[in-house]
Chain A
């Protein structure tokens, strides 16, 4: 496919897009107090913070809490600048306003490594901030939320503190310069307590928000950098936290759904049931691609759909020919052929990084073909969306989702109403992993809600529907090739990737933009390794299988391919895996610091216990650098991962406990995929239907995981939601090789 760039002019016809104002600076994202609805007894400082007379401070959080701790992290940033007590902080789901929109997520989509500060890269980022402002997208993903909020939330907190000090100054007739704040109080410099923040609330209405404030210098941080308690843990432990599937609206009914068996199926016909509908079943809803049943109980609706051929619904599907012929073996054969012969959709060639000299002849080549399968997300909370055309002409949506902006836009477009009449509430997410950035359930729930107009309806997908109709992490094939010179040194590193691209498919199905046919930017990032000569080619096949963002996206397979192949090169050149990496990372001080730390912490230079072996891998992704060492054994063909040592440089750390938790989380998620994860097709139908056929790591399999946060002085915040996942598969694969001599080039790992 021809490379196409997004042209803003072509968006003018996309009716549902809201053109907001563009911005680049934090102060533009502060907003004013009318933007954050204040209840009785509350007053807002700006678009992000409000306070009540009891001193309870509320931060508007426009990001989805899916376990990554973002609600806590954002509140911590605000509390720091406010000099508020942690116990005074609370959060509220934000409305979908331009000031909350995630600039970083679009900036991160440019195909330059976050470390690349060159002019071209910076221009691309600047352009993306413009697009972010114009697009106006609030989204939680790409491990960008903390990076994105770092400035605006702190500025909002500093502005709020400024207003509290102004109020105290006026009240007590003391100059602002003589006042300090601590623990939700304003005091004199001598330490005399003047007023708590709550006591100042009645004065705030007359205080003018400052035009400009500077957040604190990091040397003055008291909360940032500490593992403060998470705001959501108690409710989740007591069972009172509301996930999307727990939403209960008075009069609500439930909908269960069956999609056609192969991707792209259309519902051709649905004969009217011969008998009258059983008790409790309200209606049957025909959707273009699915059948839904509405009932007063989801279990009843789902059971009705599951009835056998004789006394159940008999939908007839139009099956697209190409999709119906999809079988995993044929897909792999096609990918192998594309790998050999197809013209690349993307090429990146790096010049030699050494002194300009005659190219060294390659006397020996190393070639290997790597494979990684389709993967499902399998969030613990099944997919769900609750929709209601209320009696005031509005459309209310409750959903665990990763982009309230997209939900609102897609709901409005589906219902053919103005986006201003759509109200979105984002609940807790029982796992996101990229699946809940998709808008398919919004369309379905709105269409079903329209059929039962006036009644709220909660659409829930069964686990089977979830596994069979996911937006999968793409399957990928990589032809890896290395050239060695006479002295056995690596001079050439090549890879040819074949994989569908979620970043090409996603804008089309959710925003109506054309597919660009380009690979995921993060599967073709410029490598940190200083290869004398480097070339990556990517082929993006056009297939009907839906692919989506899966935790760490392109890195989830390319890290496996590259970090395993680097070990193959180490073996071929009789260098240790650690030494080869160190040599190739000359001058990459952050990488070296992380690599050296993980090696030391894992006792890399001492032999492992008998029967065990270790493997190492390092990957930079989403602004952070992570290295892992996995220590494994193999018992009757079963891989047992005993211990994983993980080192991360994520720049400034706001909450160390959250960073550690996210590393453990990413490792277990990647380990489940490496050991068990595989989605296969027969006749276009997904073969896996529930956890028994798509298993996950359990407590008994879980390794001890030690996480080390490495301070390299890097000053830009990196993400932590995804970077823990890419290194674990290659670390395990490299350990398998060290233990057995078997080089496994396909996932999931199967010991011969």
Chain B
């Protein structure tokens, strides 16, 4: 039995140590917001936060994250949407939407680390794939999120 701390709650799972965190989240924790896109860490659809860092959960074994603080897209908002999510909704970024949780998690982690990133820093942090090509809207949403976070009391 592995105990994981997901979105602030401790939960126990009877899974193999080597089962990728992505699948433990989707199958055992029944949190389907984190998505499978490639399984090899190339697309970023599975991005979660582990101790505050953006991590591609398909590349991480469940056994290796016991005791760490895991946040998924479902846990990003508290009583209201996270500023990144607000910006994303304002800018109407999502098209098919499948890649969006991964992008939002990567953006939230970036802005927690660097509140006012340059375009280059944004490009380097957001290497996820969006097959619908929502990149223009995403750039605007990232800039908007920077403003919303800066305004937070």
Q: Residues of A with Cβ closer than 8 Å to B?
A: 66-69, 229-230, 232-243, 245-246, 248, 254, 297-299, 378-382, 428-433, 460, 462-463, 657, 661, 664-669, 672, 690-692, 696-700, 702, 704-705
CB-defined contacts of B136 to chain A, threshold 8 Å: 664, 702, 704-705
Inter-subunit contact B126/A237 (CB<8 Å)? no
| Bound form: Cα–Cα A690–B39 in Å | 9
| Bound form: Cα–Cα A661–B94 in Å | 10
Inter-subunit contact A68/B95 (CB<8 Å)? yes
Identity of the chain B residue whose Cβ is nearest the Cβ of A297 in the assembled complex: B27
Identity of the chain B residue whose Cβ is nearest the Cβ of A705 in the assembled complex: B136
Inter-subunit contact A699/B138 (CB<8 Å)? yes
Inter-subunit contact A380/B129 (CB<8 Å)? yes
Q: Does B123 contact A (CB under 8 A)?
A: yes
* Minimum CB–CB distance for B13 against chain A, Å: 11
| Bound form: Cα–Cα A463–B93 in Å | 25
* Minimum CB–CB distance for A76 against chain B, Å: 14
Q: Does B55 contact A (CB under 8 A)?
A: no
List, sorted by A's number, 6 A–B pairs whose CB atoms are closer than 8 Å: A238-B77, A380-B35, A428-B96, A690-B42, A697-B133, A699-B135
| Bound form: Cα–Cα A664–B27 in Å | 34
CB-defined contacts of A240 to chain B, threshold 8 Å: 33, 74
CB-defined contacts of B131 to chain A, threshold 8 Å: 378-380, 431, 433, 669, 672, 696
CB-defined contacts of B77 to chain A, threshold 8 Å: 238
Inter-subunit contact B94/A699 (CB<8 Å)? no
| Bound form: Cα–Cα A460–B38 in Å | 12
CB-defined contacts of A379 to chain B, threshold 8 Å: 96, 98, 131
CB-defined contacts of B99 to chain A, threshold 8 Å: 380, 430
CB-defined contacts of B135 to chain A, threshold 8 Å: 664, 668, 697-699, 702
CB-defined contacts of A66 to chain B, threshold 8 Å: 96
CB-defined contacts of B43 to chain A, threshold 8 Å: 380, 691
| Bound form: Cα–Cα A672–B129 in Å | 11
| Bound form: Cα–Cα A380–B35 in Å | 9
Q: Does B112 contact A (CB under 8 A)?
A: no
CB-defined contacts of A657 to chain B, threshold 8 Å: 92
Inter-subunit contact A67/B104 (CB<8 Å)? no
CB-defined contacts of A462 to chain B, threshold 8 Å: 39
User: Helix, strand, loop or mixed for chain B's interface?
Assistant: loop
- Report which of B23, B42, B124, B137 forms a contact with A297, defined as CB distance below 8 A: B23
Known: A430-B35, A692-B42. A232 touches B134 (CB 8 A): no
Known: A297-B27, A382-B36. A237 touches B100 (CB 8 A): yes
CB-defined contacts of A67 to chain B, threshold 8 Å: 94-97, 132
Identity of the chain B residue whose Cβ is nearest the Cβ of A377 in the assembled complex: B131
CB-defined contacts of B17 to chain A, threshold 8 Å: none
Instruction: Pick the most buried of A379, A380, A433, A462: most chain B CB atoms within 10 A of its CB.
Output: A380
| Bound form: Cα–Cα A430–B94 in Å | 11
Inter-subunit contact A229/B101 (CB<8 Å)? no
Inter-subunit contact B33/A698 (CB<8 Å)? no
* Minimum CB–CB distance for A378 against chain B, Å: 6
Inter-subunit contact B97/A690 (CB<8 Å)? no
Inter-subunit contact A661/B123 (CB<8 Å)? no
Known: A238-B85, A697-B133. A298 touches B138 (CB 8 A): no
CB-defined contacts of A661 to chain B, threshold 8 Å: 92, 95, 134, 137
* Minimum CB–CB distance for B20 against chain A, Å: 7
Inter-subunit contact A692/B40 (CB<8 Å)? yes
- How does the 8 Å CB contact mask read for B96-114 relative to A, with 1 for contact and 0 for none? 1111110010000000000
Inter-subunit contact A234/B89 (CB<8 Å)? yes
Known: A699-B122, A699-B126, A702-B136. A239 touches B101 (CB 8 A): yes
* Minimum CB–CB distance for A256 against chain B, Å: 11
Inter-subunit contact B96/A239 (CB<8 Å)? no
Inter-subunit contact A248/B32 (CB<8 Å)? yes
* Minimum CB–CB distance for B64 against chain A, Å: 16
Identity of the chain A residue whose Cβ is nearest the Cβ of B127 in the assembled complex: A698
| Bound form: Cα–Cα A688–B54 in Å | 28
Q: Does B81 contact A (CB under 8 A)?
A: yes
* Minimum CB–CB distance for B65 against chain A, Å: 16
CB-defined contacts of A233 to chain B, threshold 8 Å: 88-89, 92-94, 97
Instruction: Pick the most buried of A232, A238, A697: most chain B CB atoms within 10 A of its CB.
Output: A238
Give 20 A-B pairs besides A69-B95, A298-B23 with Cβ atoms closer than 8 angstroms.
A68-B95, A232-B94, A233-B97, A236-B96, A243-B98, A379-B96, A379-B98, A380-B99, A380-B130, A381-B96, A382-B37, A430-B97, A463-B40, A668-B132, A669-B132, A690-B40, A691-B42, A698-B126, A698-B135, A699-B135
Inter-subunit contact A237/B133 (CB<8 Å)? no
CB-defined contacts of B92 to chain A, threshold 8 Å: 229-230, 233, 657, 661
Inter-subunit contact B132/A665 (CB<8 Å)? yes
Inter-subunit contact A696/B129 (CB<8 Å)? yes
| Bound form: Cα–Cα A697–B99 in Å | 14
Q: Does B30 contact A (CB under 8 A)?
A: yes
CB-defined contacts of A232 to chain B, threshold 8 Å: 94, 97
Inter-subunit contact A430/B81 (CB<8 Å)? no
| Bound form: Cα–Cα A233–B100 in Å | 10
- Report which of B96, B122, B139 forms a contact with A380, defined as CB distance below 8 A: B96
Q: Does B6 contact A (CB under 8 A)?
A: no
| Bound form: Cα–Cα A66–B94 in Å | 11
Q: Does B73 contact A (CB under 8 A)?
A: yes
Inter-subunit contact B27/A299 (CB<8 Å)? yes
Q: Does B45 contact A (CB under 8 A)?
A: yes
| Bound form: Cα–Cα A160–B45 in Å | 42
| Bound form: Cα–Cα A624–B72 in Å | 41
| Bound form: Cα–Cα A236–B92 in Å | 10
- How does the 8 Å CB contact mask read for B115-153 relative to A, with 1 for contact and 0 for none? 000000011101111111111111100000000000000
CB-defined contacts of A235 to chain B, threshold 8 Å: 97
| Bound form: Cα–Cα A430–B123 in Å | 23
Inter-subunit contact A380/B98 (CB<8 Å)? yes
Within 8 A of A (CB), among B37-71: 37-40, 42-43, 45
Q: Does B5 contact A (CB under 8 A)?
A: no
* Minimum CB–CB distance for B84 against chain A, Å: 9
Please name the 5 residue pairs, one residue from A and one from B, whose CB atoms are nearest each other, closest first: A668-B133, A239-B33, A236-B97, A430-B98, A67-B96
Inter-subunit contact B127/A237 (CB<8 Å)? no
- Report which of A378, A381, A460, A664 forms a contact with B133, defined as CB distance below 8 A: A664
| Bound form: Cα–Cα A230–B97 in Å | 12
* Minimum CB–CB distance for B7 against chain A, Å: 11
Identity of the chain B residue whose Cβ is nearest the Cβ of A227 in the assembled complex: B92
* Minimum CB–CB distance for A411 against chain B, Å: 24
Instruction: Pick the most buried of A237, A379, A661, A666: most chain B CB atoms within 10 A of its CB.
Output: A237
CB-defined contacts of B33 to chain A, threshold 8 Å: 238-240
| Bound form: Cα–Cα A295–B35 in Å | 20
CB-defined contacts of A704 to chain B, threshold 8 Å: 136
* Minimum CB–CB distance for B100 against chain A, Å: 6
* Minimum CB–CB distance for A263 against chain B, Å: 23
Inter-subunit contact A665/B134 (CB<8 Å)? yes
| Bound form: Cα–Cα A417–B36 in Å | 33
Inter-subunit contact B40/A702 (CB<8 Å)? no
| Bound form: Cα–Cα A68–B33 in Å | 21
Instruction: Pick the most buried of B34, B37, B40, B85: most chain A CB atoms within 10 A of its CB.
Output: B37
| Bound form: Cα–Cα A557–B31 in Å | 41
CB-defined contacts of B98 to chain A, threshold 8 Å: 243, 379-381, 430-431
